[in-house]
Structure formats: structure tokens, C-alpha cells
């Protein structure tokens, strides 16, 4: 393996899921499920996660999705949450995450995870030339 291919870089890993109701346990369980699926799909060690950025739609108010990361033991990972833009016609009860991950994998080897039908949102993403060359692969569940 060449020195360049083994270099560790910070990569973005995206994921999304839909939540059935605005209830704390529904939000936390759905977010834990999403994070576990991302970790499993990419074989991520918690100590390699640089940070995590969560967004949720305005109709999810009863819990912070980032709390689910703490529940999974991500005690040293910097976490941030925000509300998604309330776009008319946008999907309801949606949680998204962007993990920043220190890895030697190439960006095209990163597996992005979309659960509970959230992969349908991919058509709402910016054109590929505006998406920094990221490649999405989804897992529906």
C-alpha cells in the first residue's frame, strides 16, 4: 500500500432516518439505530469520530438527537444539533447526521446510510458537481 493511500483524512459520512412520532424515546431510538447502522456499515471506531452534526425537522421537538450518541457512549465526541430548514413540502419527522470521521478510506469507499425510506430524499440533494464529489449508498430498513 502506498503512503498516500494509507494517509488518514477526515471524511464525511451522511445518514438519515424518519421518526414515527415526536416522542423522546422514538427520536432517541431512531437516532441510535441510524448511528449504529453507520458505524456497522463503515466499521467505525468511536475514537476515530472527529465530530457529529445532527439536524432534525421542526416537528421533532421532544428530544435532542445528539443525546442518542451519548447513550451509545460517544462521551468524547463533539456533537452539534440544529433544526432543518422548514421547506414547504419537505419530509416530516426526519433526522439527519453528518459524521466527520478520521480514516484511511477514500471518500468513494464511505457508505452513507439512509433508513426507513429516507433514501428517497436523495433526489432533493444538490447536483453532484455541488456535492463535493460525495457518493451515497443507502440501506433502507
Is the Cβ–Cβ distance between 66 and 105 less than 8 Å? no
Predicted confidence at residue 5, as pLDDT, reads 57
- Tell me the sheet residues that pair with 100: 12, 51
Report helix, strand and coil shares of the chain as percent, to nearest 5. Answer: 30, 25, 45
Q: What is the β-pairing status of strands 49-56 and 94-103?
A: antiparallel
C-alpha cell at 101: 470521521
Q: CA angle at residue 31 from 110 to 28, to 5 degrees? A: 165
- Predicted structure pTM score: 0.81
Question: What domains are there in the chain, each with its CATH number?
Answer: 10-119 (3.30.1330.40)
- Residue 16 CA to residue 118 CA, distance in Å, equals 6
pLDDT tens digits, 97-109: 999 999 999 999 9
Position 135 pLDDT exceeds 50 = no
pLDDT tens digits, 35-73: 999 999 999 999 999 999 999 999 999 999 999 999 999
Place 137 in a pLDDT band, splitting at 50, 70 and 90: very low
Amino acid at each position: 500500500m502506498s503512503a498516500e493511500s494509507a494517509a488518514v483524512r477526515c471524511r464525511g459520512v451522511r445518514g438519515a432516518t424518519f421518526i414515527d412520532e415526536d416522542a423522546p424515546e422514538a427520536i432517541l431510538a431512531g437516532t441510535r439505530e441510524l448511528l449504529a447502522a453507520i458505524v456497522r456499515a463503515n466499521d467505525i471506531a468511536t475514537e476515530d469520530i472527529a465530530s457529529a452534526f445532527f439536524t432534525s425537522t421542526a416537528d421533532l421537538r421532544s428530544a435532542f438527537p445528539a443525546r442518542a450518541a451519548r447513550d451509545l457512549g460517544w462521551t468524547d465526541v463533539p456533537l452539534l444539533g440544529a433544526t432543518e430548514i422548514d421547506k414547504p413540502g419537505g419530509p416530516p419527522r426526519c433526522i439527519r447526521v453528518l459524521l466527520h470521521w478520521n480514516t484511511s478510506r477514500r471518500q468513494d469507499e464511505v457508505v452513507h446510510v439512509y433508513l426507513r425510506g429516507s433514501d428517497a430524499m436523495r433526489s432533493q440533494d444538490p447536483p453532484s458537481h455541488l456535492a463535493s464529489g460525495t457518493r451515497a449508498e443507502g440501506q433502507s430498513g
